[in-house]
Copies of this chain bind each other. A is one copy, B any other.
């Protein structure tokens, strides 16, 4: 079996045709869902790239893997999917973004600097890089994209800034997509030379090179993440009227939670509080998604035509969503489904999965489930003493979910690096929140701040925060208890396997220790 693990960056769950968007066209993603299972309650374990992705790559929650924010290095003590595959004689190829930061201090401490194969693998989070490109920066030396752009005739020191995320206004002036007011313009790059096209090409070339050799590929797009600059014709594919209505009420501002109030002072939120920003960005964002869908179509066509499809497990998901003005917020991070819920489609081509093709399933699925799903698909051992997710194969192979399937999704946030910390006068250990999302409740526990609580039955759009409402004290106490129980079960005993613990139980006499004998 091969595995193709595709990630989109900052793609909202509700921005797909198959999830009900009335205008957005994503025919190839919809067809993918029809061939497999679409999980309608799939959640990330943190609403921001770095920690979310590290959960995808380790099978562990942020509180366990410790990379709680973008650019917080993943500890050398953590074991990634790539390393697990390596241990079984396979490897994990990468085309695109990971957001993995090398743990340089940890590597130096263990004298693992320099270019050994092991040091390189650890620096890269276990990936073998075909082309690594994290996006929203000029492509660095790990990527061929800058050279590719130059070869296509995009001149300049920084063709990415000057072409890929820039446009030309009516006055003939070059304008940067870093200013969202400009993202109605087409990017100064041909669609076929865009980030999404380039990375799809990398993946296709890799599959061609591999021929009949098995592979596991993480194809990780940097779009529809900002800068929201879409190339023609996608920049103009949707009008503002063809976007989802903005989800926000004035009551939300009147009764704002202190941390949300601080967030809403940040530049990205202030911008998205302007209607013109929403009307400008949302069509471009949708265009980027349709563009992505187009390239996924190329990819899926290749899988079919090459015959690879019948031996390839495909996972398609995103690292988090994007507020785009909902709840008076821009960007991501906070605990609304807008950001925390993501597309999650899995196609298992094997006959065992025929029973579930085309299903939309409601079980709670999380980012941490990717690693165990990949390992089980490949018939490899699952390091259960580390893994906190569960393989999704039971949900792909049987109509009935296991009776002990999880009843909530978990997510957390470390906002120490955010301006909101300064506004609230907090120190760098105080800026944490922990959230449970069950069928009925969205609950958030904030250090040193009030709780948040939304009743999804009565208020599916989460406009009314009941976290400081005395009438919900009982529910909140129950959810606190659930959260305590969840945190108390994290897998911090990582140096011994479960089998070794079982074998070592009550084994002291076998080890020559005879305490307690009268």
* Given A110-B118, A480-B484, A517-B179: A417 and B495 interface contact (C-beta under 8 Å): no
Q: Does A330 contact B (CB under 8 A)?
A: yes
Question: A488 contacts which chain B residues (CB < 8 A)?
Answer: 432, 434, 445, 447, 487
Question: A417 contacts which chain B residues (CB < 8 A)?
Answer: 501, 504-507
Annotate A466-504 by CB proximity to B: 1 below 8 A, 0 otherwise: 000000000001001101110111111111101001101
CB nearest to A491 among chain B residues? B429
B180 and A72 form a contact (CB under 8 A): no
Contact size range, A: 35 or more
Annotate A249-277 by CB proximity to B: 1 below 8 A, 0 otherwise: 00000000000000000111111101001
Question: A429 contacts which chain B residues (CB < 8 A)?
Answer: 489, 491, 498
* Given A417-B504, A488-B434: A518 and B179 interface contact (C-beta under 8 Å): yes
Q: Does A226 contact B (CB under 8 A)?
A: yes
Q: Does A76 contact B (CB under 8 A)?
A: yes
A75 and B495 form a contact (CB under 8 A): yes
B501 and A428 form a contact (CB under 8 A): yes
The CB with the most chain B CB atoms within 10 A, among A68, A116, A414, A417, is that of: A417
* Given A331-B516, A517-B179: A485 and B418 interface contact (C-beta under 8 Å): no
Q: Does A210 contact B (CB under 8 A)?
A: no
* Chain B binder among A59-67, A238-246, A343-351: A59-67
CB nearest to A116 among chain B residues? B111
Partner of A136, one of B118, B269, B490, B513: B513
* Given A110-B110, A419-B505: A516 and B77 interface contact (C-beta under 8 Å): no
Q: Does A178 contact B (CB under 8 A)?
A: yes
Q: Does A112 contact B (CB under 8 A)?
A: yes
Q: Does A73 contact B (CB under 8 A)?
A: yes
A495 and B105 form a contact (CB under 8 A): yes
Partner of A73, one of B76, B106, B181, B496: B496
A267 and B517 form a contact (CB under 8 A): yes
Question: A181 contacts which chain B residues (CB < 8 A)?
Answer: 518
CB nearest to A136 among chain B residues? B513
A487 and B485 form a contact (CB under 8 A): no
Q: When chains A and B are docked, how far (Å) is the Cα of A434 from the Cα of B122? A: 34
B498 and A419 form a contact (CB under 8 A): no
* Given A118-B110, A447-B488, A513-B137: A271 and B495 interface contact (C-beta under 8 Å): no
Question: A20 contacts which chain B residues (CB < 8 A)?
Answer: none
A518 and B180 form a contact (CB under 8 A): yes
A330 and B489 form a contact (CB under 8 A): no
Q: When chains A and B are docked, how far (Å) is the Cα of A279 from the Cα of B378? A: 61
Partner of A518, one of B109, B277, B428, B512: B277
Q: Does A355 contact B (CB under 8 A)?
A: no
Question: A79 contacts which chain B residues (CB < 8 A)?
Answer: 109
Closest Cβ–Cβ distance, residue A450 to chain B (whole Å): 13
Q: Does A90 contact B (CB under 8 A)?
A: no
A268 and B501 form a contact (CB under 8 A): no
Q: When chains A and B are docked, how far (Å) is the Cα of A96 from the Cα of B180? A: 65
CB nearest to A518 among chain B residues? B271
Q: When chains A and B are docked, how far (Å) is the Cα of A416 from the Cα of B268? A: 49
* Given A75-B495, A421-B505, A513-B137: A111 and B105 interface contact (C-beta under 8 Å): no
A512 and B137 form a contact (CB under 8 A): yes
Question: A62 contacts which chain B residues (CB < 8 A)?
Answer: 492
Q: When chains A and B are docked, how far (Å) is the Cα of A75 from the Cα of B421? A: 32
Q: When chains A and B are docked, how far (Å) is the Cα of A481 from the Cα of B180? A: 43
**27 CB-based A-B contacts, threshold 8 Å:** A62-B492, A63-B492, A66-B493, A71-B504, A72-B493, A73-B495, A76-B110, A77-B78, A110-B118, A111-B116, A178-B515, A179-B517, A180-B517, A272-B516, A417-B505, A418-B506, A419-B505, A428-B501, A428-B505, A429-B491, A445-B484, A447-B489, A477-B477, A480-B480, A480-B481, A487-B487, A487-B488
